[in-house]
């Protein structure tokens, strides 16, 4: 996913091209040849962010038919063609529109016009923090409760299963036991607690040739691993074109990576070896070794599970969280 920019005039198009080059995105001019409506429809679901170089009203009317939820909508930012103001319209925190507006402002000397209450008051934005720390918000309805408490001058308590580097922001306290308003980890919480799940789990998978997607789903569900915590799937290169495995990854929108037998053999750790697997693939274990390699040398969370011609393991990427809640695009 990338940043897509659309302009309406020659001057605006020059600015759109400049922004696209700096942000690694694309630039188009409305009507040449794609219409505003068709461009918005095409880019709204496939791109990480949309930047309209022109009037706010045009952008509002363009995106309105496609808005669904702040948890899924892309960031939408408007910048006038003179490059004076950068305005985040949609998904300011979870989608990163506020940060993108700040970045656009830096690039063209504009002023970022940020209107979200926590930003205006210089307070911790828990949903923006979740995005910056690559966490999934399991119950977005609780965001308003946490932000409201901070805006009212109250302290919020955070319980975390992962270490967080640095000093907590004003109004935030880390606790080890209840009560707390925010939980960071993989244990299901009561509905009143804002539950954040880091995306740090890598699945390692091996399977017989021709294994279907439902067999893979069955073993994955039996593992008890939260789908929201998964960031990638890894296997041996012999499975690079395995249709069921590719369909499984596509269904969940998980990146898929493969390693050759020699690479898997160099993975460090203690693994469940199999003479049959070694004879077939050239390495004694696929799923555990692939999970560890895919996680960048992380620790195994789930050792080899077997079922329906599938072997599955999981490893956790090394986690380093901090209290920053602004990113630079």
pLDDT tens series, the chain, 329 aa: 599 999 999 999 999 999 999 999 999 999 989 999 999 999 999 999 999 999 999 999 999 999 999 889 999 999 999 999 999 999 999 999 999 999 999 999 999 999 999 999 999 999 999 999 999 999 999 999 999 999 999 999 999 999 999 999 999 999 999 999 999 999 999 999 999 999 999 999 999 999 999 999 999 999 999 999 999 999 999 999 999 999 999 999 999 999 999 999 999 999 998 899 999 899 999 999 999 999 999 999 999 999 999 999 999 999 889 999 887 66
In a shared domain, residues 172 and 270: no
Q: How far is Cα 141 from Cα 214, in angstroms, rounded to an integer? A: 32
In a shared domain, residues 21 and 38: yes
User: Pick from 178, 198, 218: which residue ends a domain?
Assistant: 198
CATH number at residue 71: 3.40.50.11220
What local confidence, expressed as pLDDT, does residue 327 receive? 73
Contacts of residue 16, Cβ cutoff 8 Å, sequence gap at least 6: 5, 6, 7, 27, 28, 29, 51, 53
CATH number at residue 175: 3.40.1390.40
Partners of 300 in the beta sheet? Answer: 315
Q: Is residue 325 part of a domain?
A: no
70, 132, 115, 145 alpha-carbon torsion, rounded to 10°: 60
Q: How far is Cα 307 from Cα 31, in angstroms, rounded to an integer? A: 54
In a shared domain, residues 192 and 226: no
Angle between helices 97-108 and 10-23 (to 10 degrees): 110
Q: How far is Cα 80 from Cα 230, in angstroms, rounded to an integer? A: 39
- Structural domain total, the chain: 3
Count of positions (residues) in the chain: 329
Q: Are 158 and 181 in contact (CB under 8 A)?
A: yes
In a shared domain, residues 219 and 178: no
Partners of 75 in the beta sheet? Answer: 49
Q: Which helix (H) or strand (E) holds 12?
A: helix 10-23
Secondary structure class of 309 (helix, strand, coil):
coil
Q: Are 28 and 4 in contact (CB under 8 A)?
A: yes
3-state per-residue secondary structure call for 261-298? HHHHHCCCCCCCCCHHHHHHHCCCCCHHHHHHHHCCCC
Q: How far is CA 170 from CA 140, 155, 196, 281, in A?
A: 22, 8, 20, 54
In a shared domain, residues 206 and 253: yes
253: left (phi over 0), alpha (psi -120 to 50) or beta: left
Q: Is residue 120 part of a domain?
A: no
Contacts of residue 144, Cβ cutoff 8 Å, sequence gap at least 6: none
In a shared domain, residues 107 and 156: no
In a shared domain, residues 222 and 263: yes
First to last CA, the chain: 13
Query: Would you call 149 exposed, middle or buried from its count of C-beta atoms within 10 A (0-12, 13-18, 19+)?
Result: middle
User: Pick from 115, 135, 164: which residue ends a domain?
Assistant: 115
Whole-structure pTM value: 0.88
Partners of 227 in the beta sheet? Answer: none
What local confidence, expressed as pLDDT, does residue 328 receive? 64
Q: How far is Cα 51 from Cα 25, in angstroms, rounded to an integer? A: 10
Q: How far is Cα 71 from Cα 58, in angstroms, rounded to an integer? A: 23
In a shared domain, residues 194 and 233: no
Contacts of residue 106, Cβ cutoff 8 Å, sequence gap at least 6: none
Q: Are 16 and 6 in contact (CB under 8 A)?
A: yes
Q: How far is Cα 201 from Cα 228, in angstroms, rounded to an integer? A: 9
Range of the domain at 139: 126-198
User: Pick from 94, 115, 136: which residue ends a domain?
Assistant: 115
In a shared domain, residues 183 and 206: no
């Amino acid at each position: 996913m990338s940043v897509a920019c659309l302009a309406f005039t020659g001057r605006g198009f020059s600015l759109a091209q400049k922004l696209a080059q700096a942000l690694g995105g694309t630039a188009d001019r409305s009507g040449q040849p794609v219409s505003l409506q068709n461009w918005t429809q095409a880019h709204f679901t496939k791109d990480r962010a949309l930047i309209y170089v022109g009037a706010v009203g045009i952008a509002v009317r363009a995106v309105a038919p496609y808005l669904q939820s702040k948890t899924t909508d892309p960031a939408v930012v408007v910048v006038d063609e003179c490059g004076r103001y950068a305005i985040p319209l949609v998904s300011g925190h979870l989608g990163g529109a506020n940060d993108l507006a700040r970045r656009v402002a830096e690039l063209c000397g504009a002023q970022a016009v940020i209107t979200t209450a926590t930003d205006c008051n210089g307070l911790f934005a828990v949903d923006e923090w979740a995005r910056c720390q690559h966490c999934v918000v399991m119950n977005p309805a609780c965001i308003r409760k946490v932000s409201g408490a901070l805006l009212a001058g109250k302290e919020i308590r955070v319980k975390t299963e992962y270490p967080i580097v640095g000093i907590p922001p004003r109004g935030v306290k880390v606790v080890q036991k209840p009560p707390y308003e925010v939980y960071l980890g993989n244990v299901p919480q009561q509905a009143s607690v804002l539950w954040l799940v880091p995306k740090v789990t890598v699945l390692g998978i091996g399977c017989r040739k021709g294994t279907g997607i439902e067999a893979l789903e069955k073993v994955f569900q039996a593992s008890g691993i939260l789908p929201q915590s998964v960031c990638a799937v890894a296997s041996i290169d012999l499975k690079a074109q395995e249709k069921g495995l590719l369909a499984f990854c596509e269904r969940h929108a998980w990146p898929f990576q493969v390693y050759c037998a020699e690479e898997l053999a160099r993975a460090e750790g203690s693994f469940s070896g199999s003479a049959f697997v070694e004879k077939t693939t050239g390495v004694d274990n696929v799923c555990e070794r692939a999970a560890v390699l895919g996680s960048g040398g992380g620790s195994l969370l789930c050792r080899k599970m077997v079922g329906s011609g599938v072997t599955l393991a999981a490893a956790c990427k090394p986690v380093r969280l901090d209290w920053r809640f602004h990113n630079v695009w």
